[in-house]
Amino acid sequence: MLGLSTVLPSDPVKLITFALCIIGLFLATIFVVAFKPKAGESTTLQAYLKFFYACFVKPHSGDGTGNQQDALESFYKAQAEVYDATRVRLLRGREDLLGLVAAQLKYRTEAGLISQRPVWVDIGGGTGHNVEQMGAFLSVPDFFRAVYIVDLSPSLCSMAEKRFARLGWKNVKVICQDARKFRLHEHEQEARKRKELILRGQIVRDLDENADAGGAELVTMSYALSMVPEFYPVIDSISSLLSPNGVVGVVDFYVQNQVEYQSRNYTGGAIDRHVMWISRVFWRTWFEIDRVNLEAARRDYLEYRFGTVLSINTRNNFFGVKLPYYIWVGCSKETGASSAKLAEIDAAATESPYLSALDLQTGPAQSDIELRSKAYESAIVNLQSSLPLPATWYQNHHWRIHYDDTLLKHTRFNNSYIYAFTWEDDRADARLLKVRPDDVILAITSAGDNILSFALEHPRRIHAVDLNPTQNHLLELKVAAFTALGYSDIWKLFGEGHHANFRDILINKLSPHMSSLAFQHWLSNGTRIFSANKNKGLYYSGGSGNALTLVGWLFRILGLSGEIKKLCAAQTLNEQREIWERSIKSILHSKILTWTVLGNEKWLWKALGVPPAQRDLIEWDHNNMDDFDPEGPFAANTPTNKKDRKKTSEKAQRKSSGHAVYEYVLNTFEPVVTTTLLSTSNHYYLLTLLGHYTPQSHPTYLSPKSHVQLSKPTAFSGLRIHTDEISEVISRMRPNTLTIVVVMDSMDWFPPGGKQAIKQIRGLNRALRVKGRVLLRSAGIEPWYLDVFGELGFSCRRVAVRVPGGCIDRVNMYASTWICTKEVSIEHEDVKASLRKNSMGELKI
């Protein structure tokens, strides 16, 4: 301590000065380390010092006149030469924006929506960094007819001119001008001639007011909107610049409170959009020092003036803190808003007869007049309020039907799916249903595997329904992948469950084929889910992934990992049975497994997706198997009244819940292993043991032959994805239009004595044609709700039943499979009964 005191000054003022110098040196050191250039970057310490001086030390108010150009120039002139090198870490998201808009342009060009070489206007383009970086996605000299960089700073424009002189890109033009005053017709003669021809004889205030005559196919703003004082006219000018099928792309900083946007349905989703109070105050105050304004109105007005195609909210980890920024891709607000387009999409969702001449075999029924989808209703409300349509209406494909993602019934799934793979034997479904080209199918989405299998049968329409939004996000990902990717990428994603370049293909290839909400989900979670980590991957995600993870741990703890690999590689049934008997079978007989796992209600629901009502069916069968007659009538041994169910429940409580489930699981697995070969013909259990498929054992949709069919442009033209309850979807469908409904085991989830099953079955009768079929599976041998089907106009036929030692199908997970066929329309019977009642009333009078 004595040596240190002799070095430090004794004067308090000098001591404070010395301390500040030390702190300044410390901060400067951190600053230099934080901005240490990456390998290959030609930046220096001098560049960062210039940046620090220009941004944090030098005042940049200009000459005091308030002139925006002068203020900008005073800010940028001192750092123009180092601008690009010092913004790499601060201005995140620019490359992602370029990838997204490039993907949109390529899709629209290939689809014929853009018939000529596009024009690109980059507002606030500065040094031209974005235009050069676009070369990683598109050939700028070849793809674009003209590129205009519009910026108000002469110093930055000078750097841009030098850049493109060096690159030799003759089609890039640098315009040093206020963005509010930039007019495309002053530079594009073709645009001027078209507009003059269209506006001939009219009073013209601005030739760019009529965008129908043509304009720029791409308009971008990269961290420029927050620096424009008068942002309203700039955003308005973008609307006049944009061609009818053009794309707008914006990336910028933002801060916003959820109260401001929570009632809007046109923002494309609000994942991670909310910024907490302290962060809002800090960043807004910090950026105002440099005349950067983060008020919410800028982004709000942008979303109001255009339709949202994709919207992303994310954070840049800058200096150890999270700096909020957004990426937004939009289009003209009028795109897709025509009455014909609205009616077409609405008709597809409700099966009303307005789609094509093929659908006009019967005229509109009286019941169609008020029959509208929730998506159509939301569109009408928005149009009446002069708002953009919900983002799903601006998709390139209208697979996904709009839904309100803020409702509790959707948010309760915590942005996660339960099933990463489907436990339904698609081969058995195909054999039982024999799908025809005129079939209209409604099926539960689950992981989407069964939907893709149905698509291979080419029915007229497929309605995929799931209340969990993320299950539909998974289906969207698969459909987009087949639309845009080759077989090798498809196999990596859904065969192996890993893809090292997932984020790149999501942005550059899949994004034009996804809804904003699904894209947000996979951008936020996909890289982690599809990680190349050995113990990670698609099939280790979701609730079902918990089951796979636990099974893997269990086998590793017991030293059976080697045996599992041998079991999955066995080439004959005898070899497979031998491995099963000598080692693995003993695990299922473990009491520890029975009591700690299989009897645990939380485990059953969260990992296996077995709700309490379905568990009760398993317990009832376990306690009443002695009374079961597999040849008897379907309802002979099923307690259907509340009294019988109460007795059953009390009896079940006296016995072990875990033991009932244990026997059920044993009866599931053992016949599978002894009768089906995992390595070649049972990919369901191969997946649960390995965590991935193999080229020899995989779902039908993952074969090269299936990829040829599902990658055709029309493969999913009849697909509609609904995020809602089945009863809600079918209640808005035209009566007597569905031919096949697949409800999987969802009827097991309804409690006996409740109204949910009655409501859904009545709805199914209304929506199905006569002789239309409902395929269902149940954990019960003779589930109670079959009585309800019988009472509401259906005949029920058990087409498969599981008996000890036998397999109902390759999954063997369910106790029975049923087909319920509609024999009579109960609505007609209700009308007749009502008429009879009225007639009797009149006679009494």
pLDDT tens per residue across span 824-833: 998 765 544 5
pTM of the full predicted structure? 0.84
- Does residue 382 sit in the same domain as residue 301? no
Query: Is there a domain that residue 312 lies in?
Result: yes
Selection from 646, 602, 598 nearest residue 618 by Cα:
598
- Does residue 375 sit in the same domain as residue 466? no
pLDDT value at 653 more than 50: no
Q: Using 50, 70 and 90 to split pLDDT, how confident is the model at 516? A: very high
- Does residue 791 sit in the same domain as residue 708? yes
Stretch among 178-182, 325-329, 359-363, 651-655 having the lowest mean pLDDT: 359-363
SS3 of 627-654: the string is: HCCCCCCCCCCCCCCHHHHHHHHHHHHH
Query: Is there a domain that residue 81 lies in?
Result: no
* Residue 168 one-letter amino acid: G
In this predicted structure, what is the pLDDT of residue 440? 96
Q: What is the pLDDT of residues 323-345, one digit of tens each?
A: 999 999 999 988 766 677 788 88
In this predicted structure, what is the pLDDT of residue 204? 45
Helices 612-623 and 642-654 meet at what angle, rounded to 10?
80
Percent of the chain with pLDDT over 70: 75
- Does residue 188 sit in the same domain as residue 272? yes
**Of 690, 713, 741, which residue constitutes the final position of a domain?**
690
Give the 3-state secondary structure of residue 288: helix
- The CA distance from 402 to 425, in Å, is 30
Query: Is there a domain that residue 12 lies in?
Result: no
Q: Using 50, 70 and 90 to split pLDDT, how confident is the model at 347? A: confident
- The CA distance from 814 to 747, in Å, is 13
- Does residue 140 sit in the same domain as residue 202? yes
When pLDDT is averaged across residues 31-53 and rounded to a whole number, the result is 51
Q: What is the pLDDT of residues 222-270, one digit of tens each?
A: 999 998 888 999 999 998 889 989 999 999 999 999 888 888 999 999 8
Highest-confidence range of 39-43, 59-63, 109-113, by mean pLDDT? Answer: 109-113
**Domain with 261 in it:** 90-332
Burial of 123 (0-12, 13-18, 19+ CB in 10 A): buried
**Of 332, 362, 377, which residue constitutes the final position of a domain?**
332
- Does residue 814 sit in the same domain as residue 671? no
CB of 343 within 8 A of CB of 354?
A: yes
Query: Is there a domain that residue 79 lies in?
Result: no
Q: Quick one: tokens of 23?
A: 């702190």
Selection from 371, 402, 207 nearest residue 307 by Cα:
402
Higher pLDDT, 385 or 466: 466
Selection from 766, 700, 769, 760 nearest residue 740 by Cα:
769
- Does residue 213 sit in the same domain as residue 281? yes
Stretch among 146-150, 417-421, 459-463, 624-628 having the lowest mean pLDDT: 624-628
Q: What is the pLDDT of residues 776-814, one digit of tens each?
A: 999 888 999 999 999 999 999 999 998 888 889 999 989
- The CA distance from 517 to 214, in Å, is 30
Q: What is the pLDDT of residues 685-727, one digit of tens each?
A: 999 999 999 999 999 999 999 999 999 999 999 999 999 999 9
- Does residue 384 sit in the same domain as residue 451? no
Q: What is the pLDDT of residues 595-649, one digit of tens each?
A: 555 555 555 545 555 677 777 888 787 777 655 555 544 443 344 444 444 444 4
- Residue 633: phi and psi, rounded to 5, are -60, 155
- The CA distance from 225 to 113, in Å, is 28
pLDDT value at 379 more than 80: yes
- The CA distance from 761 to 754, in Å, is 12
Query: Is there a domain that residue 45 lies in?
Result: no
- The CA distance from 526 to 417, in Å, is 13
Q: Using 50, 70 and 90 to split pLDDT, how confident is the model at 84? A: low
- The CA distance from 765 to 148, in Å, is 60
- The CA distance from 34 to 51, in Å, is 13
Query: Is there a domain that residue 363 lies in?
Result: yes
- Does residue 567 sit in the same domain as residue 490? no
In this predicted structure, what is the pLDDT of residue 181? 86
* Residue 265 one-letter amino acid: N
- The domain spanning residue 205 has which CATH number? 3.40.50.150
Query: Is there a domain that residue 557 lies in?
Result: yes
Q: Using 50, 70 and 90 to split pLDDT, how confident is the model at 361? A: very low
- The CA distance from 506 to 513, in Å, is 10
Q: What is the pLDDT of residues 769-781, one digit of tens each?
A: 999 999 999 988 8
Mean pLDDT of the chain: 81
* Contacts within 8 Å (CB) and 24+ apart, 619-627: 619/652, 619/655, 619/657, 619/660, 619/661, 620/648, 620/652, 620/780, 621/780, 621/781, 621/815, 622/655, 622/659, 622/660, 622/663, 622/664, 623/648, 623/651, 623/652, 623/655, 623/660, 624/648
In this predicted structure, what is the pLDDT of residue 792? 94
- Does residue 796 sit in the same domain as residue 765? yes
The count of structural domains within the chain is 4
In this predicted structure, what is the pLDDT of residue 600? 55
Contacts of 480 (CB under 8 A, 6+ apart): 510, 513, 514
Stretch among 128-142, 195-209, 511-525 having the lowest mean pLDDT: 195-209
- Does residue 735 sit in the same domain as residue 677? no
When pLDDT is averaged across residues 378-406 and rounded to a whole number, the result is 91
**Of 690, 720, 753, which residue constitutes the final position of a domain?**
690
Q: What is the DSSP string of 562-604?
A: HHHHHHHH--SHHHHHHHIIIIIHHHHT-HHHIIIIIT-HHHH
Q: What is the DSSP string of 387-416?
A: PPPPGGGG-SS--BPP--TTSHHHHTTTT-
Residue whose structure tokens are 């110098």: 21
pLDDT value at 356 more than 50: no
In this predicted structure, what is the pLDDT of residue 207? 43
In this predicted structure, what is the pLDDT of residue 212? 42
Percent of the chain with pLDDT over 90: 49
Higher pLDDT, 815 or 635: 815
Quick one: DSSP state of residue 690? H
Query: Is there a domain that residue 264 lies in?
Result: yes
The C-alpha torsion from 384 through 463 and 721 to 819, rounded to 10°, is: 130
Q: What is the pLDDT of residues 146-181, one digit of tens each?
A: 999 998 888 888 889 999 999 999 999 999 898 888
Stretch among 287-291, 331-335, 381-385 having the lowest mean pLDDT: 287-291
- Does residue 381 sit in the same domain as residue 430? no
Quick one: DSSP state of residue 365? P
Q: What is the pLDDT of residues 533-543, one digit of tens each?
A: 766 899 999 98
When pLDDT is averaged across residues 8-30 and rounded to a whole number, the result is 65
